Structure 1
Amino acid sequence: MDADTFGAWGQWAGAIMSFFAVVVALGIAIRDGRVRADERADQVKAQARTVTVDVRKLKSDRWHYHWTSVVVENHGTLPITEITLTRLVVKTNGREVAWELKIDSKGYTSKALPHRLAKVLGPGEQGEYGSLRELVDGPEVRFIQPEEAYAEVTFVDAAGLRWSRTTENREPQRVIEK
């Protein structure tokens, strides 16, 4: 093998190795970019994760009275605003029932949703909203002790971002208003 052929093979090998080095560098850069994007998304959700939603049986020791309410708790260190009930599903005896959520002597049904529950919920505060009742024909009203209830609440965090949380306590979902 003469010197020119040997040199040509060396140039080809160097070019191939340089190509693979560029591919590896691009792969590392793309992976690092994804990790940083995931970390940013995680930081953005941090306050929203501290908010919990529940449909809970409450009682008054003073009056020996029980009722079921939508409860929103802010476990964070910053306030949340514009707390809004967007969805409520109630099941008793395995079937979905028509309901009324009595708040400040006004009754709200699923047709009235979304309904603002509160303007502000401060750090460490809990909001108990309404008394849940089943709507039945006639003048009868039954307070519900639901076997199953699903509520969805939206709120705005301190950064001005709107989030959705549910009683299932999944990851907070960002709500983009159109």
Structure 2
Amino acid sequence: MRYRRTDIVDRALVVLDGYGLADLTMRRLGTELGVQPSALYHHFGNKQELLAAVADEILARGRRGPRPEPWDARVESVCTELRDALLAYRDGAELVATVRSFGLGGATPYDEIVDALGGAGLDPALVPTAAGALLHFTFGHVVDEQTHLQAGSAGAIGGPPREHSDFGDGLTLILDGIRAQARVG
């Protein structure tokens, strides 16, 4: 059977969700598709290109629609949507953060945050730093959430799952800092 690039990415998402990022290998993916791993290289030059395509698909599937107008509501919308998209797949945060740090994909949330921060009245030199801080907070928070969930489901830690996420509170603190900096500038 011949597979298209989209078929491979779809199956890679299934493997990611079922086994985790460490086990998302070309060999396992080839086995899942019933092809030799070398067949995957007709669609992706290397594993990093595949991971970038998977990360971009996670982000695309998490996209909800139009953004609110005020800059801070837009940033909150982007970060919340990103969190939800990353939580939808096992190791989603680790994958997207890694791909982004390598400069291979996952740039859409950053670009949207930078665009929104343009209306904040922030010194333009601080916009990339503010956007980075928002992304790092989101990625880090989701990695923590996913690690806790996985450890709990594997029996590595006791107790019930966390009942409440403080993601919104943390995001508000960062946005308050950006607002304060914009007033100073």
TM-score over 0.5 for the pair: no
Write 1 or 2 for the structure with the bigger share of strand.
Answer: 1
Relative to the length of structure 1, the TM-score reads 0.29
- Greater RCO structure (CA 8 Å; 6+ sep): 1
